[in-house]
Amino acid sequence: MSAERERWGNALRAGLVWGGVAVFLALVGLVEAFAARQVIVGVVSLGLALLVLAGLGAGYQAAQQQAGASLAPALLRGVLAGLLAGAAVSVLVVVGGLVNLRPMLVSASPELFLLLSFGRGLAGWYLPLLAGAVVGAIGTAATVLAGPARRPILAGVAWVLGVGLFQELLQIMLGTEGIRSALREALFDPDGLSSRGAMVVFLVAWTASTLWARRGAASRQWFAARPASQQRGLRLLALGAGVGALLMVPVLTGPFLSQVMVLVGLFALLGLGLNVVVGFAGLLDLGYVAFFAIGAYAVGLLTSTGQHGILHLSFWTAVPIAMVVSMIAGVFLGIPVLKIRGDYLAIVTLGFGEIIRLLVLSDFLRPWLGGSQGVLSIPKPTIGGFEFAGPEQLFYITLVSCALVVFVALRLRDSRLGRAWMAMREDEDVAEAMGINLVNVKLLAFGIGATFGGLSGAIFAVMIGSVFPHSFQFLISINVLSLIIVGGMGSMPGVVLGSLVLIGLPELLREFADYRFLVYGAALVVTMQLRPEGLLPAAVLQRELHTAGGEVPSREPAAVAGANQPGEG
């Protein structure tokens, strides 16, 4: 009986919590603002999808701790949780219909209450209740279903949401001629993704996920049975196909998406550099934007054809100089903080970042750095007669830079220096007792991380064509640290994924820029609650933070896992 009461109590808590989430989303304006974006034309908008996700979350949480329970009681608890979540929305509709909440809550508009009541106003106060009960039951049913039955459904829903969110971009990519045009007409109406197209996308994703679930294990066994030479050949073939697909991105997508991918690549470079300092060495750096600025200003001053240009060098000559200057600045920062740890280190590095920004704004350095007017007339990179003028061309420079930095970071991680960083990250005193020279290790971490940041700043300078102090705000450091946390500290694939999620998606959804930082905060909270190790964590961090029971299988090669052992000790 106690277990049964706990399950019902869990359902009550889930309904109340997710009902509060739904009311919060409505009152901060997310539901009304996102309602303008149709996921499926005439069926569901993004604002309504947020409320549906709240109901699904209630049903999902109510289904937790259901081990050994039969399906019918679990569904009843899901209905209860969804009913409570819908009841919170219904109460908001009733209160909003009887009392003018606008003086206290700006977003509590009549249009909002019409959306919440499905266009019925106060007369439809009961509709969120019914919808919550249905959606809660669906969330519970999807949770208690066996994995092979659940995964294809989730894959289909995820693909429909993705295609609906980015329908304008996909229509531009499909074009107006040939087979791609026929596919566009089959999936989209003039106003967006049609119901017919949504069904097609769902069925294709469901079928592909089902086939992979059935054939995936056999395919992995077949691959494992191949000789080592064939495995290497297949990996190289897959790598070549991935590189070829990346090289075709500017050709297929045009300037807008190329610009977004360049920004993602620049923040990935920053993340890879900060990952060395924070993820590998465990040194919290909140002033990392300083090295981004130093690299940008170095390239700007060395290549500019304007009044602040110094040597008028080419981009290819200036970039190594900018990286060296950034490395020296990183070592310079590391010297006074050698004995500082934890929060104090974060405060000192934060101060360093602000010092750099204020220096370039100062009147004292205005004759050389341009002050608030910045450095103008930075030329584009050229090779022979080819100029990297637009985002389609700069994409390739960013891609090659990311590949080189990933290669260097991988080699560093698996080296003696990388093992020393990880040991220092776990416990500086123990690492020093084992014979690790903390002075050298820390200075190398700051210097190498700063070098990667300087490279990103150099590309940023030629992309913009000018450098201004206000381009290097403290928020850049926060953004880079956030993408590392969300992606997974110490994980290079995680850094790239974090950059795509936190930089790429907001750029593609520019109309919701007012809620960007709210989404940032929500993403961090959800990540820390559900996956504190990040979306694609390093094996060591996953073993440390994963508490779901038992050892988590390593995603890294055995040599890497072995290399991480000193840090675990």
| Phi and psi based region of residue 135 (left: phi greater than 0; alpha: psi -120 to 50; beta: remaining) | alpha
- 40 has which bridge partners? 44
> pTM for the full model?
0.83
Measure the CA–CA gap between 33 and 72, rounded to whole angstroms. 38
Closest by CA to 30, choosing from 525, 505, 518, is 518
CA 446 from centre of chain: 24
440 band by pLDDT with thresholds 50, 70 and 90: very high
pLDDT score recorded for residue 448: 95
Identify whether the C-beta of residue 52 lies closer than 8 Å to the C-beta of residue 135.
yes
Q: In this predicted structure, which of 56-60, 263-267, 322-326 has the lowest mean pLDDT?
A: 56-60
Measure the CA–CA gap between 274 and 490, rounded to whole angstroms. 10
**pLDDT tens by residue, 31-80:** 888 888 888 888 888 888 888 888 888 888 887 655 555 677 888 888 88
Write the burial class of residue 248 (CB in 10 Å: 0-12 exposed, 13-18 middle, 19+ buried).
exposed
Q: Give the residue with greater pLDDT, 220 vs 351.
A: 351
CA-CA distances (angstroms) from residue 218 to 146, 209, 233?
20, 14, 19
Percent of the chain with pLDDT over 90: 26
Measure the CA–CA gap between 213 and 205, rounded to whole angstroms. 12
Helix (H) or strand (E) holding 40: strand 38-40
> Which residues are CB-neighbours of 286 under 8 A, at least 6 positions away?
346, 347, 349, 350, 353, 474, 477, 478, 481
Residue 464 pLDDT > 70, yes or no? yes
Reported as half-sphere exposure (CB side, CA atoms, 13 A), residue 79 has a value of: 8
Measure the CA–CA gap between 106 and 48, rounded to whole angstroms. 20
